[in-house]
Amino acid sequence: PPRPDERRGSVKSCVMSILQYNGSAIVAMVGKDCVAIASDMRYGIQQQTIATDMKKVFKMGDKLFVGLSGLITDVQTLKQKFDFRLKMYALRENRPIRPKVFSNLVSTILYEKRFGPYFVEPIIAGLDEKEGPFISAMDLIGAPVFAKDFVVSGTTSDELYGVCEAFWKKDMGPDELFETISQCLLAAVDRDCLAGWGATVHVITKDGITTKQLKSRQD
The model's confidence at residue 69, banded by pLDDT at 50, 70 and 90, is very high
Burial of 169 (0-12, 13-18, 19+ CB in 10 A): exposed
> How far apart are the C-alpha atoms of 63 and 159, rounded to whole Å?
28
> How far apart are the C-alpha atoms of 178 and 184, rounded to whole Å?
10
SS3 18: helix
Residue 37's DSSP bridge partners are 28, 202
Q: Which of 7-11, 140-144, 163-167, 197-201 has the lowest mean pLDDT?
A: 7-11
DSSP state of 130: T
> How far apart are the C-alpha atoms of 176 and 192, rounded to whole Å?
25
Residue 209's DSSP bridge partners are 204
For residue 6, the model assigns a pLDDT of 53
For residue 216, the model assigns a pLDDT of 85
Q: What are the tens digits of pLDDT across the range 149-181?
A: 999 999 999 999 999 999 998 989 999 999 999
Angle subtended at Cα 115 by Cα 113 and Cα 117, rounded to the nearest 5 degrees = 50
Q: What are the tens digits of pLDDT across the range 117-150?
A: 999 999 999 998 888 999 999 999 999 999 999 9
Contact residues for 16 (Cβ-Cβ < 8 A; gap 6+): 46
Closest CA to 151 of 17, 22, 19, 30: 30
